[in-house]
Amino acid sequence: MITKRIIPCLDVRNGRVVKGVNFEGIRDVADPVEMARFYNESGADELVFYDITASYEDRSIFTGVLKRVASQVFIPLTVGGGIASVEDFDRVLKCGADKVSVNSGALKNPALIEEAAKKYGNQCVVLSMDVKRVDGQFRVFAKGGRVDTGLDALEWAVRGVALGAGEIVVNSIDTDGVRKGFDLPLLEAIAERVSVPIVASGGAGSKEHFAELFAKVPAVDAGLAAGIFHEKLVTIPELKRYLAAQGISVRLPAREENA
Amino acid sequence: MIAIINYGVGNLYSLQCSLAYLGLPSQITSDAAEIERADQVILPGVGAFGDAAEKLAALGLDRAVQTAAAAGKPLLGICLGMQLLFETGLEYGVHKGLGLLPGVVSPMEPDLPSPLRLPQIGWNALRIRKETPLLRYVSEGEFVYYVHSYYAKTGPAYILADSEYGVQVPGVVGRGNVFGCQFHPEKSGDVGLRILKAFAEL
């Protein structure tokens, strides 16, 4: 039986992990390679790295980090941030990424999804979207949540999958950083319209929030969070034991399964 | 030395890193002579069946893989590389595979009960169906990482381990010295590393 995935997300700038709260007020947390190793040992099912480097020159620092992670941590790695072309896919895939997440780049040029899916397969292309309620509509925002594109999030999800996205990360700007739980109505609406796996992001503040997510929106496959894991407000072994006790299927370390 | 076949399909960096982590020397290669010299051969791959089969043939590597298999060399196909070991693939048309294992690689979609999503992405438990040296370090129910929308339809004799995803997904297939993993051992954490270690010891 397939298990629900728990995914820590690491924002990397200048080779260091940072985490924004409501996309503002960034704080330095730790070394990405150390953190990746730590999360792997804690039972993370996958890791997401966002490259939030400002300049093109700094991209090589990021790919260097990625290579070091991929040589020591053998779980799936998804990379996003500044992906605007098939060449960008190529650059990170060569350094150990398994999946590449597109956001603003795909909004600017939706054909990127199609091109990349043809070249690398649908399973490689993750459509990440930042969504916020505007006038009662789920609206897609670009540029790290700063620019209202006017696009309807549900339509964009359907279009992204039709173009070849093999997975969707739905990040709710309304719940992000607030730590009062995932945006269940948004996730439910998107899950109803597309058939690819969905990763929920934005709003996790406790282990109960993950249980609520998987129980109330069973179509969601994974929960992604950053700050609560980095700050150790919730640890992954504790979270997974809790979810298992709630009857939610998760991958537990072999030691515990055998116990 | 383990030869990792490079035919322009997929990410070989992680696979090579995982072998290096285990202290196993490997060589990424498109050279038939080098494949012939290798002790074991890994056929990786992601993407579409037809395109991959074509690329493999264009480099003459289909023959190299078949020769290695016929010579009794341990061969491991991973993900699409596993699917290519079969006779036929039904992804965007009907395509000929390497024919090293009997069976057809078919879309999961028509066979799935409705609530399951495709691709299958994530960690699923392995049920061991047959004793095999490839799984000597793996216990029943351990988790491996899958990413796929197609699966092998083959006889039970060739299914060494499977996972349940609405349908019975052959996770590990094999016959003699020819093996395949539908999941990614190089991305399945410690469990995957143990499978690669066992393969290198064959």
Interface of B with A (CB under 8 A): 11, 13-14, 17-18, 20-21, 46-48, 115-125, 139, 141-143, 145-149, 164-165, 184, 186-193
Query: For an interface test with B, which of A39, A74, A126, A240 has the most B Cβ atoms less than 10 Å from its Cβ?
Result: A74
Residue type at B149?
Answer: S
Chain B residues with CB inside 8 Å of A166's CB?
A: 119, 121
Q: What is the 3-state secondary structure (H, E, C) of B50-115?
A: HHHHHHHHHCCHHHHHHHHHHCCCCEEEECHHHHCCEEEECCCCCEECCCCEEEEEEECHHHCCCC
Nearest to A221 among B117, B146, B193 (CB): B117
CA end-to-end distance (rounded Å), chain B: 12
| Given the residues A45, A88, A130, A221, the one annotated as active site | A130
Q: How far is B34 from chain A (nearest CA, A)?
A: 23
- CA-CA distance, A255 to A22, in Å (whole number)? 37
- Residue identified by tokens 């399964």 is A257
pLDDT tens sequence across B132-169? 999 999 999 999 999 999 999 999 999 999 999 999 99
More confident residue, A24 or B131: B131
CB atoms under 10 Å from CB of A55, counted, come to: 8
**H helix or E strand, kind and range, residue A163:** helix A153-163
Chain A residues with CB inside 8 Å of B193's CB?
A: 74
Dihedral sign from CA coordinates of A8, A94, A113, B44: negative
Mean pLDDT score across all residues of chain B: 96
Interface of A with B (CB under 8 A): 1-5, 40, 45, 67, 70-72, 74-76, 93-98, 119-124, 166-167, 195-198, 218-219, 221-222, 251, 254, 257-258
Based on the residue annotation, tell me whether A88 is a catalytic residue of this protein: no
Q: How far is CA A110 from CA A16, A146, A156, in A?
A: 30, 19, 10
Nearest to A251 among B18, B123, B164 (CB): B123
Based on the residue annotation, tell me whether A51 is a catalytic residue of this protein: no
CA atoms within 13 A on the CB side of B72: 0
Chain A residues with CB inside 8 Å of B146's CB?
A: 2
Interior/surface letters B149-168, b for 16+ CB within 10 angstroms, e for the rest = bbbbbbeeebbbbbbebbbb
pLDDT band at A52 (very low <50, low <70, confident <90, very high): confident
Report the number of secondary-structure helices (H) and strands (E) in chain A.
Answer: 11, 12
| Domains delineated in chain B | 2-200 (3.40.50.880)
pLDDT tens sequence across A199-242? 999 999 999 999 999 999 999 999 999 989 988 899 999 999 99
C-alpha closest to that of A229 among A196, A190, A201, A189: A201
The pLDDT of residue A23 is above 50:
no
**Beta strands at A24-30 and A77-80: parallel, antiparallel or unpaired:** unpaired
The pLDDT of residue B9 is above 90:
no
- CA-CA distance, A55 to B61, in Å (whole number)? 41
pLDDT tens sequence across B54-104? 999 999 999 999 999 999 999 999 999 999 999 999 988 999 999 999 999
- CA-CA distance, B16 to B38, in Å (whole number)? 15
Mean pLDDT score across all residues of chain A: 91
Q: What's the domain count of chain A?
A: 1
pLDDT tens sequence across B21-33? 999 999 999 999 9
- CA-CA distance, A35 to A29, in Å (whole number)? 9
- Residue identified by tokens 């979207």 is A129
Q: Which domain holds residue A211?
A: 5-258
Q: Which two tokens stand for residue A10?
A: 């690491």
Q: How confident is the model at residue A25, as a pLDDT?
A: 47
- CA-CA distance, B83 to B98, in Å (whole number)? 9
- Residue identified by tokens 């640890």 is A235
Chain B residues with CB inside 8 Å of A93's CB?
A: 11
- Residue identified by tokens 């990127």 is A112
Nearest to A196 among B17, B118, B146 (CB): B118
CATH code, domain carrying A61: 3.20.20.70
pLDDT band at A21 (very low <50, low <70, confident <90, very high): very low
C-alpha closest to that of B126 among B137, B110, B116, B112: B137
